[in-house]
Structure 1
């Protein structure tokens, strides 16, 4: 990913928090000789050796599942808040732009066995059920329901490279930076509000 130096995010704790908070990713690889992408949740975890990994699964019907053994290299794309920035908000003439946060994680896929797949499902469900009034537990599901786990290919991705971008108008002076925040807050949609919050945190 092309990232100008001013927008590079190399704070590992910040990147990990970003992935935890924006875990619905796009998994990209070469499948049957062409680029293939699947939208799936991925969990940032650690393997037995203490190395950072991503864990997820796809349907066995998904052609991407059959390609993991042939082409283990994958790219996981995580996207955060993003919004248009009008140059009419500056005190000088310039062009409009787009502010955004994103992370690209590169790695190698390892397919999990059935027991490991069920374990990864437990982690996934536990993470997203935290906000439920009556959290669902994989352990409580019937054998009949859990038969559906036979229809997935679960995997872990050993992370080999991380690239993260945090484009938050860092190239603007304080006056224009603060005015962008104000204008985004006035727009009031979710992305604009989230971007304004990110810019405030980055001051």
Structure 2
């Protein structure tokens, strides 16, 4: 991913928080010489023994993407957050419109999980998204018949080898124009624009 220096994010804690908050990503690899992508939730986990980090997910067994995992090649997972159009009319100089956004690219090598690991990964995923619900679903409470559906998926973990993180939030603008962008984004009815404005305000204060 092309990242100018002033948009580069190397704050590991911030990146990890972003991955956890925006966990629905796009898994990309090459299958039969062609790019292949799947939209899927991925959970960031860390080994308690050596500190290595992994993304854990699953796809339908009928999705051929997983058959390329055995080649040992790197895969790419793309995560994005709020994004918003920025009009050049908001500046006190002549410029061009642009787009503010956050994106993280995670690279790594996948490994297919065995049955017990698959069930454990499903429990982690379900527990995360069922937390706080009035009548939460629990994997351990599902019937054997329902759990037979596990045979229809392929779970995997991706050992993270590198991360590229980009935060394009008008960092290249002076204070006056930076605040102007925030004000116009805050005035927008678009929740994405408001989210970008909030992050810009938070970062400028830190």
- TM-score of the aligned structures, taking structure 2 as reference length: 0.96
Give how far 1:35 is off.
0.4
The answer to whether residue 26 in structure 2 is matched with residue 26 in structure 1 is yes
Q: In the alignment, what sits opposite 1:155?
A: 156
CA distance in 2: counterparts of 1:99 and 1:155, whole angstroms: 33
Deviation of 1:71 after TM superposition, in Å, equals 4.5
How big is the shift at 1:32? 1.6
Listed one character per residue, the Cα deviations across residues 27-67 of structure 1 (whole Å, up to 9, x for unaligned) are 00011211000000000001343211100001110010211
1:92 match: secondary structure? coil
Q: Structure 1 length as normaliser, TM-score?
A: 0.97
Alignment of 1:1-203 (within 5 A): 1-47=1-47, 48-203=49-204
Give the Cα–Cα distance (whole angstroms) in 1 for the partners of residues 181 and 156 of structure 2.
Answer: 42
Aligned-pair CA distance for 1:13 = 0.1
RMSD: 0.9
Q: Secondary structure at the match of 1:135?
A: coil
Cα displacement (A) at 1:77: 0.4
- Secondary structure of residue in 2 paired with 1:202: helix
Partners of 1:72 and 1:110 within 8 A in 2: no
How far 1:120 moved relative to its partner?
Answer: 0.4
Displaced runs of 4 or more, over 4 A = none
Q: Count how many residue pairs are aligned between Structure 1 and Structure 2.
A: 203
SS in 1 for 2:123: helix
What is the CA distance between 1:133 and its match in structure 2?
A: 2.0
- Please give the alpha-carbon distance, in whole angstroms, between the structure 1 residues aligned to 2:44 and 2:73: 18
Contact 1:25 1:76 in 2 (8 A): yes
- Please report how far the alpha carbon of residue 188 of structure 1 lies from its aligned counterpart in structure 2 after TM superposition: 2.1
Stretches of structure 2 lacking an aligned partner (at least 5 in a row): none
